[in-house]
């Protein structure tokens, strides 16, 4: 026996309060359950379980029983469903039926039953129909009265007078509990516009780079004016020729002049900066992130530029970084720490500017053939080159054209829509690094 309060009832499993009889039933039943039989107790209940206890006590000496009793909102099981209760004085009624006794609230001649009690009984009958696959309750067929099996007034004048209402309530509950789960409303399409970004480590840090940067910039600009993209992300390393106070801007200044009115530079620093296409995206805000001092090493790169923009009403963010380029275990660890710190700061900025994490991309030269990528993957960011023909492409070629490494990456969040590196341009001749072109689909939120 298990005692349960109404709050603990499991209607779908027919688990209620239990006071199981030890006699006056037949075990097991010999017929398949085919209907529910309704009775009244001729015992007055007050909603406390008084009538239910009265039934149990009566059946200790009287050779009779029922499977369930209901009193107001209480349900108690007296005989297991697998057994035949002695309820109808009829073999078929006992062995093919499940009987429910209802407490009364008045005596002879009406034997009234409260609304709450008979509705609790109807609810129980509906769940029995569902559990035993009897189908929707059918009046006088799958939902029957004691008098259908034996010459008796049970279930009493009052239930007889509301019998159609009782059946209708059982049908209503059955319809409710067997209705298919509602189909959730279809949200508006979350697919946003496509954004094309390019990322390039544009160097002029040695004599050859400083001497040739003008021609290399002009060739690159010609390409980008012919093949337009939405955002350009640059990491420039210069040697400061003619610009000792601003050592990393030789190429930037010429890009500003040559791009004209098509691309406009947004914020950044001398060595990290972004351009947006005035024809395709709307600038929102830009700036520079400086990695935490604890991630610095040998005074090398500590910054990333960022650009927040809108396309077709969807906000996105590009972050362009150039990490520590020294060799050694310490430098390796600093590179990873710098990248993760830059990501953390970028996410804080994105939150204030209402940029969804799925619309953020990190690009740049990691100076790492795999450690930074592995750390980003562990942090929930995927390499946009993965699964494309450029997954293993060399992006660092060396000024001699012979040194080859995969240093440049583009990372989007694992929950982002499709994003892929669609080109790696070595033929730009802009520096010792190739340009990455990334196409990604924004998420509309």
**In the β-sheet with 419-425, what is the strand arrangement from edge to edge?**
263-266, 272-277, 231-238, 191-204, 435-443, 419-425
Average pLDDT rounded to a whole number, residues 49-74: 96
Least confident of 145-149, 377-381, 401-405: 401-405
Residue 1 domain-assigned?
no
**Residue 246, pLDDT score:** 47
Per cent of the chain over pLDDT 90 is 73
Which residue from 232, 382, 363 is spatially nearest to 309, judged by alpha carbons? 232
Q: Are residues 208 and 249 in the same domain?
A: yes
Determine how many CB atoms are found less than 10 A away from the CB of residue 84: 26
Q: Are residues 120 and 214 in the same domain?
A: no
> Where in the sequence is the domain holding 231, given as residue range(s)?
191-443
What's the distance, Cα to Cα, between the start and end of the chain in Å? 53
Residue 64 domain-assigned?
yes
Q: Are residues 88 and 219 in the same domain?
A: no
Give 292-317 pLDDT, tens digit per residue.
988 888 766 788 999 999 999 999 99
Give 217-262 pLDDT, tens digit per residue.
899 999 999 999 999 998 887 644 443 444 557 788 889 999 999 9
Peptide bond into 155 cis (omega under 30): yes
Residue 133 domain-assigned?
yes
**Residue 187, pLDDT score:** 62
Which residue from 247, 242, 335, 350 is spatially nearest to 291, judged by alpha carbons? 335
Given 133, 155, 178, the domain boundary residue is: 178
Torsion over CA: 236, 356, 412, 417 (sign): negative
What's the domain count of the chain? 2
**Residue 269, pLDDT score:** 79
Give 95-150 pLDDT, tens digit per residue.
999 999 999 999 999 999 999 999 999 999 999 999 999 999 999 999 999 999 99
Given 147, 178, 209, the domain boundary residue is: 178
Residues 6+ apart with CB under 8 A from 114: 72, 103, 105
Q: Are residues 293 and 195 in the same domain?
A: yes
CA distance 236 to 246: 12
Q: Are residues 199 and 105 in the same domain?
A: no
Residue 247 domain-assigned?
yes
Mean of pLDDT over the chain: 91
Give 175-228 pLDDT, tens digit per residue.
999 998 887 776 665 889 999 999 998 877 777 777 888 888 899 999 999 999
Residue 184 domain-assigned?
no
Q: Are residues 259 and 139 in the same domain?
A: no
**Residue 170, pLDDT score:** 97
CA distance 124 to 105: 19
What CATH number should be reported for the domain holding residue 39? 3.40.80.10
- pLDDT band at 395; cut points 50, 70, 90: confident
Q: What is the CA radius of gyration of the chain?
A: 39
Q: What token pair was written down for 214?
A: 């003008």
Q: Are residues 141 and 255 in the same domain?
A: no
Given 178, 202, 217, the domain boundary residue is: 178
Q: Are residues 330 and 243 in the same domain?
A: yes
Residue 322 domain-assigned?
yes
Q: Are residues 219 and 318 in the same domain?
A: yes
Helix/strand number for the chain, H first, E second? 9, 20
Q: Are residues 154 and 200 in the same domain?
A: no
Residue 260 domain-assigned?
yes
Residue 186 domain-assigned?
no
Q: Are residues 170 and 200 in the same domain?
A: no
What CATH number should be reported for the domain holding residue 325? 3.60.10.10
Q: Are residues 200 and 294 in the same domain?
A: yes
Q: Which residue has the tokens 């390409």?
A: 223
Q: Are strands 74-77 and 68-71 parallel, antiparallel or unpaired?
A: antiparallel
Which residue from 197, 381, 161, 165 is spatially nearest to 277, judged by alpha carbons? 197
């Amino acid at each position: 026996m298990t005692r349960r309060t109404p709050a603990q009832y499991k209607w779908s499993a027919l688990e209620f309060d239990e006071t199981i009889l030890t006699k006056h039933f037949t075990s097991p039943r010999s017929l398949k359950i085919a209907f529910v039989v309704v009775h009244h107790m001729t015992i007055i209940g007050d909603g406390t379980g008084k009538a239910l206890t009265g039934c149990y006590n009566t059946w200790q000496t009287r050779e009779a029983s029922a499977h369930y009793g209901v009193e107001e909102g209480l349900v108690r099981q007296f005989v297991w469903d697998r057994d035949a209760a002695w309820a109808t004085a009829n073999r078929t009624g006992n062995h093919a039926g499940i009987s429910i006794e209802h407490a009364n609230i008045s005596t002879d001649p009406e034997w009234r039953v409260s609304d709450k009690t008979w509705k609790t009984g109807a609810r129980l009958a509906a769940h029995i129909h569902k559990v035993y696959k009897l189908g929707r309750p059918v009046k006088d067929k799958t939902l029957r009265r004691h008098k259908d099996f034996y010459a008796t007034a049970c279930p009493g004048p009052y239930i007889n007078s509301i019998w159609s209402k009782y059946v209708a309530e059982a049908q209503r509950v059955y319809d409710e509990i067997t209705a298919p789960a509602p189909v959730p409303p279809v949200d508006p399409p979350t697919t946003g516009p496509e954004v094309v970004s390019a990322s390039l480590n544009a160097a002029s840090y040695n004599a050859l780079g400083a001497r040739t940067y003008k021609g290399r910039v002009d060739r690159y600009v010609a390409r980008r004016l012919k093949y337009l993209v939405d955002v350009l992300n640059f990491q420039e390393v210069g040697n400061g020729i003619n610009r000792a106070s601003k050592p990393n801007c030789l190429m930037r200044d010429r890009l500003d002049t040559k791009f004209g009115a098509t691309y406009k530079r947004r914020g950044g620093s001398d060595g990290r900066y972004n351009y947006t296409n005035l024809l395709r995206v709307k600038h929102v805000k830009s700036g520079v992130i400086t990695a935490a001092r604890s991630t610095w090493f040998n005074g090398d790169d500590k910054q990333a530029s960022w650009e927040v923009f809108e396309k077709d009403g969807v906000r996105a963010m590009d972050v362009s970084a150039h990490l520590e380029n020294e060799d050694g275990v310490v430098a390796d660890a600093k590179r990873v720490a710098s990248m993760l710190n830059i990501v953390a700061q970028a996410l804080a900025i994105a939150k204030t500017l209402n940029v969804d994490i799925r619309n953020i991309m990190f690009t740049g030269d990691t100076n790492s053939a795999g450690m930074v990528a592995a750390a980003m993957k562990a942090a929930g960011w995927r390499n946009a080159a993965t699964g494309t023909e450029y997954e293993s492409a060399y992006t660092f070629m060396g000024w001699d054209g012979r040194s080859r490494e995969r240093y440049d990456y583009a990372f989007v969040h694992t929950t982002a829509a499709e994003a892929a590196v669609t080109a790696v341009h070595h033929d730009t001749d802009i520096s010792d690094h190739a340009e990455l072109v990334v196409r990604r689909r924004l998420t509309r939120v």
